[in-house]
Amino acid sequence: MASLATRLETLRQQALQELNTASDEPALARWRNTYLGRNGALAGHMRSFSQLAAEDRPAAGQAANALKRALETAFEDREGRIAALALDARFEAQRIDVTLPARRLHTGALHPTTQMLRRVVSIFRDLGFRETEGPEVELDWYNFEALNIPPDHPARDMWDTFYVNPPAVLLRTHTSPVQVRMMEKTQPPVRVVVPGRCYRYEAQDASHEWMFHQVEGLAVDEGLTMADLKGVLVAFAQRIFWPDTQCRFRCDYFPFVEPGMELAVQCPICRGSGCRVCKQSGWIELLGAGMVHPKVLRKVGYDPEKVSGFAFGMGLERIAMVANTIDDIRLFHGNDLRFLQQFA
| Pairing verdict, β 283-292 and 308-315 | antiparallel
Any idea what DSSP says for residue 205? B
Per-residue pLDDT of the chain (344 residues; tens, 9 = 90+): 547 677 777 877 887 888 788 888 888 888 888 877 777 777 777 777 666 667 777 777 777 778 778 878 888 888 888 888 888 888 777 777 778 788 877 778 899 999 999 999 999 999 999 999 999 999 999 999 999 998 887 777 777 889 999 889 999 999 999 999 999 999 999 999 999 999 998 888 877 888 999 999 999 999 999 999 999 999 999 898 888 888 999 999 999 999 999 999 887 777 778 887 677 888 888 899 999 999 999 999 999 999 999 999 999 998 888 788 788 888 998 888 888 888 88
275 and 181 belong to one structural domain: yes
Does the annotation mark 296 as catalytic?
no
322 and 242 belong to one structural domain: yes
Residue in 214, 237, 289, 307 annotated catalytic: 214
159 and 300 belong to one structural domain: yes
Does the annotation mark 174 as catalytic?
yes
Residue in 172, 174, 293, 318 annotated catalytic: 174
Q: Domain residues for 8? A: 2-93
Does the annotation mark 200 as catalytic?
yes
The pLDDT assigned to 154 comes to: 76
The rounded distance, in Å, linking the Cα atoms of 121 and 192 is: 10
Residue in 178, 300, 311, 322 annotated catalytic: 311
The rounded distance, in Å, linking the Cα atoms of 184 and 175 is: 15
Which stretch of DSSP H or E encloses residue 38? Answer: none
Any idea what DSSP says for residue 157? G
Q: Which amino acid is at 326?
A: I
Q: Which amino acid is at 56?
A: D
Q: Are 181 and 142 in contact (CB under 8 A)?
A: yes
For residue 107, tell me if it sits in a domain. Answer: no
70 and 153 belong to one structural domain: no
The pLDDT assigned to 50 comes to: 67
The pLDDT assigned to 277 comes to: 67
For residue 101, tell me if it sits in a domain. Answer: no
Residue in 78, 200, 213, 318 annotated catalytic: 200
The pLDDT assigned to 61 comes to: 72
Which domain-ending residue is among 38, 61, 93?
Answer: 93
**Domain total of the chain:** 2
Does the annotation mark 257 as catalytic?
yes
For residue 105, tell me if it sits in a domain. Answer: no
Does the annotation mark 214 as catalytic?
yes
The pLDDT assigned to 146 comes to: 94
Q: Are 4 and 59 in contact (CB under 8 A)?
A: no
48 and 189 belong to one structural domain: no
The rounded distance, in Å, linking the Cα atoms of 23 and 56 is: 38
Residue in 15, 60, 121, 159 annotated catalytic: 159
For residue 148, tell me if it sits in a domain. Answer: yes
For residue 209, tell me if it sits in a domain. Answer: yes
For residue 40, tell me if it sits in a domain. Answer: yes
Any idea what DSSP says for residue 136? S
The rounded distance, in Å, linking the Cα atoms of 241 and 123 is: 12
Does the annotation mark 141 as catalytic?
no
The rounded distance, in Å, linking the Cα atoms of 18 and 162 is: 87
196 and 312 belong to one structural domain: yes
Per-position b or e across 249-283, b if 16+ CB within 10 A of its CB: eeeeebbbbeebbbbbbbbbbbeeeebebbeeebb
CATH number at residue 150: 3.30.930.10
309 and 269 belong to one structural domain: yes
Exposure of 302 by Cβ count < 10 A (0-12 exposed, 13-18 middle, 19+ buried)?
buried
Residue in 257, 277, 289, 322 annotated catalytic: 257
